[in-house]
Amino acid sequence: METWTLTAPCHFGLESVLKREIYDLGYDITQVRDGEVSFTGDAEAVARANIWLRTAERLLLEVGRVNARTYDELFENVKALPWEAFIPLHGKFWVTKASAVNCQLYSPSDIQSIVKKAIVERLKEKYHTAWFPEDGEEYPIRVRGRKDEFAICLDTSGPSLHKRGYRTEAGGAPISETLAAALIGLTRFKRGRILVDPFCGSGTFLIEAALMAANRAPGLTRDFTAEKWTGLIPKNCFTDAVEEAEDLEDLSDMGDLQGYDIDADVLRYARANAARAGVDSFIHFQQRDVAELHHAKKYGFIITNPPYGERMGSEDELAGLYRTLGSRFAALDSWSCYVITPYADIEKAFGRKATKNRKVYNGMIRTYFYSFEGPKPVHK
């Protein structure tokens, strides 16, 4: 079976988590760059990666890489790529997005236009036609330029992989599913352990943790663009990947997953989202203030995205909220706490230095993921 270079974009700074996921799927990584990880894979890999990757935004199949400092060079080099091996005569194709970092060519709209024209000219020659009906399956194209090198790729996913299908409703400022999964991957949380989110909102952290604990593939209930590329990706690749995922699911040790929020409406969203994800029976949601956070057992985890900015009334309220979270965490024996926030004084509010912190963009907001790690359990 033919192999290609496959690239999975992700949140900047979280490449290590995605890299581990790809290794776990059994594929050889060829390159790691800011915001993306590339690996070698075949048609089966396209299906398995789309269904299994929790932290990637999408999966791109690289048609080729070209160097270009002028639009003429871009046109000729893109035209030289073997497009007829990927796009059939009736295929519908367009350049859905282009980006360029440190390139002589920097206009996304111009890059999109030139790449589309180059592909059309190539296919005109190969299919001996002057007109394409484009009434077949969709082949969206993405262009990613860095330092005058452009990766020209087919988007195998379609809608972003963060769209698992379970979150149709959300409260204010929800964290994305892929970011939540990546942040959980940075913690020491494992299946069978205690996890509490005292600001659970629409439940994303807890739902993603439950999916991980159950070893349930996040893409099981959605469709992918490449499923319809039967000339390129055999249909059985996706059906086999789904069967594999269903066989590997394990609900035997789901642990103790709890979500609190003071907003009853938001909790209704969270419960509905968990039900759509098929993990509602494993998560206990309750209307509770963070001041009531407590647990009788040791070695638990808090992973949370507290309110900030417009979600809070004033700076004093914000400081008070973090002091309360810090005091409740301090009362939990041997627990670890992980917080994503732009709030700069969290260590002061907690009265302790973070074990580590990492810069992360939550949408367009620059935040930090603070880790306050407790001791590891003592195994007899």
Whether residue 39 is predicted with pLDDT greater than 70 in this model: the reply is yes
pTM assigned to the model: 0.94
* pLDDT band at residue 362 under the 50/70/90 scheme: confident
User: How would you classify the pairing of strands 60-67 and 356-362?
Assistant: unpaired
Q: Which residue has the tokens 């979270």?
A: 325
Tell which residue, 184, 198, 183, 207, has the closest CA to residue 307.
198
Give the N- to C-terminal CA distance of the chain in Å, as an integer.
49
Digit-coded pLDDT (tens) for 231-252: 999 999 999 999 999 999 999 8
Token reading at 3:
């192999």
**Phi/psi at 259 (nearest 5 deg)?**
-130, 130
Residue 313: predicted pLDDT = 56
Digit-coded pLDDT (tens) for 57-107: 999 999 999 999 999 999 999 999 999 999 999 999 999 999 999 999 999
Whether residue 305 is predicted with pLDDT greater than 70 in this model: the reply is yes
- DSSP per-residue letters across 94-163: EEEEEEEES-S---HHHHHHHHHHHHHHHHHHHHT-S-----S-EEEEEEEEETTEEEEEEESSSS-TT-
Residue 172: predicted pLDDT = 60
Whether residue 335 is predicted with pLDDT greater than 60 in this model: the reply is yes
* pLDDT band at residue 224 under the 50/70/90 scheme: very high
What would the mean pLDDT of 146-170 be, rounded to a whole number?
93
d(CA 210, CA 131): 50
Residue 173: predicted pLDDT = 60
Q: Percent of the chain beyond pLDDT 70?
A: 97
* pLDDT band at residue 316 under the 50/70/90 scheme: confident
Please give the angle made by the CA atoms of 208, 13 and 50, to the nearest 5 degrees.
45
Whether residue 206 is predicted with pLDDT greater than 60 in this model: the reply is yes
The 10 Å CB-count burial string (b at 16+, else e) for 261-276 is beeeebbebbbbbbeb
* Lowest mean pLDDT, pick from 138-152, 257-271, 277-291, 359-373: 359-373
* pLDDT band at residue 193 under the 50/70/90 scheme: very high
Whether residue 380 is predicted with pLDDT greater than 90 in this model: the reply is no
